[in-house]
């Protein structure tokens, strides 16, 4: 599994998060700060009088502003005294206490939200329910995200959802879904983005702002699914699953060689027809998918007819 989502999952499932602070770490940019942000979001799940995030200073340094309202322990100049303070905080919580369980779904490895921007998919709850019933690796839900935007831009006569023009408030809403590891955002528009120049008419694009947001176009998906003898719902699941495999599994990505595989790179919707017909991982991709639980879930989803 890729380490970024695995670390996020570990933070959310922990009873405590000890933030070890030094002069360098407190000012360092990069993934240290991202982990801290994740821990701060998880902290909001707990009652105010329940400790989760425990800052621990390794030396005399200024904690980040986000921790100004949090008591911290010092491991200097007396390491033993500081360590005892940490233990005192942890031991003060009754064993029966713990995470607010109403938002935690047990038995699944990773949680995935499916958001419908503009397709009007009334059977999305049934799709999620079906997916959850046939495997136990992913738990799917369908959060409602409020999105008011003017991010539609025309490229060579074709309307695209221009990802970079979406408001930052879209990503801020993720704090409402603290247990979600990824969000599949469905739209009827083709997708455009900026990367040292404009690219457009894409079918799937991860966000450069927050890579847990995976944008998926359903443009011409109904026609391609029909040509492959599959339901539209199966086509949606096909697209979501291919993105989840690439996002979660290490050393796997889309390949330009068309093998009738779910990871065929498709610059045209109807290139996907062969993969939709086969509904499989090709032997090469299957051999590289090392996580047995993930592989079992992928195979179960691909095998299901998904007739909702």
How far is 123 from 225, CA to CA, in rounded Å?
A: 17
Query: pLDDT for 67-109, tens place per residue?
Result: 878 888 999 999 999 999 999 988 887 665 555 444 445 678 8
pLDDT grade for 217, boundaries at 50, 70 and 90: very high
pLDDT tens per residue, range 172-206: 777 665 568 899 999 999 999 998 889 999 999 99
- The DSSP code sequence of 187-219 is ESSEEEEESSSEEEEESEEE-SS-TTEEEEE-T
**Mind listing the domains of the chain with CATH numbers?**
14-100 (3.40.50.10140), 105-303 (3.40.390.10)
Environment class of residue 170 by beta-carbon count within 10 Å: exposed (0-12), middle (13-18) or buried (19+)? buried
Element (H or E) spanning 270, and its range? none
Go through 213-239 and write b for each residue having 16 or more CB atoms within 10 A of its CB, e for each that does not: bbbbbbbbbeebbeebebbbbbbbbbb
Euclidean distance between CA atoms 103 and 80, whole angstroms: 37
Task: Give the dihedral of Cα atoms 237, 239, 240, 243; nearest 10 deg.
Answer: 150
């Amino acid at each position: 599994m890729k380490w970024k989502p695995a670390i996020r999952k570990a933070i959310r499932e922990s009873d405590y998060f000890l933030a070890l602070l030094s002069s360098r770490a407190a000012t360092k940019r990069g993934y240290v700060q991202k982990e801290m942000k994740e821990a701060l979001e998880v902290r909001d799940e707990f009652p105010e009088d329940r400790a989760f995030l425990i800052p621990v200073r390794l030396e005399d340094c200024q904690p980040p502003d986000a921790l100004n309202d949090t008591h911290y322990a010092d491991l200097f100049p007396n390491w033993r005294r500081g360590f005892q303070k940490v233990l005192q905080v942890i031991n003060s919580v009754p064993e029966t206490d713990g995470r607010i369980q109403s938002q935690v779904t047990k038995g699944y490895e990773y949680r995935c939200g499916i958001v419908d921007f503009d397709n009007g998919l009334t059977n999305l709850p049934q799709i999620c329910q079906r997916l959850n019933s046939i495997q136990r690796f992913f738990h799917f839900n369908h959060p409602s995200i409020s999105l008011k935007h003017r991010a539609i831009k025309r490229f060579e006569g074709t309307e695209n959802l221009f990802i970079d023009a979406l408001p930052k408030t879209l990503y801020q809403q993720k704090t409402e879904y603290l247990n979600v590891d990824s969000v599949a955002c469905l739209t009827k528009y083709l997708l455009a983005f900026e990367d040292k120049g404009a690219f457009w008419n894409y079918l799937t694009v991860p966000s450069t702002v927050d890579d847990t947001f995976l944008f998926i176009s359903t443009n011409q998906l109904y026609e391609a699914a029909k040509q492959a003898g599959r339901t539209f719902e199966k086509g949606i699941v096909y697209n979501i699953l291919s993105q989840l495999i690439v996002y979660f599994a290490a050393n796997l990505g889309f390949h330009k060689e068309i093998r009738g595989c779910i990871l065929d790179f498709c610059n045209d919707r109807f290139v996907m027809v062969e993969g939709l017909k086969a509904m499989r991982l090709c032997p090469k991709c299957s051999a590289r998918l090392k996580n047995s639980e993930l592989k079992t879930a992928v195979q179960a989803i691909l095998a299901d007819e998904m007739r909702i």
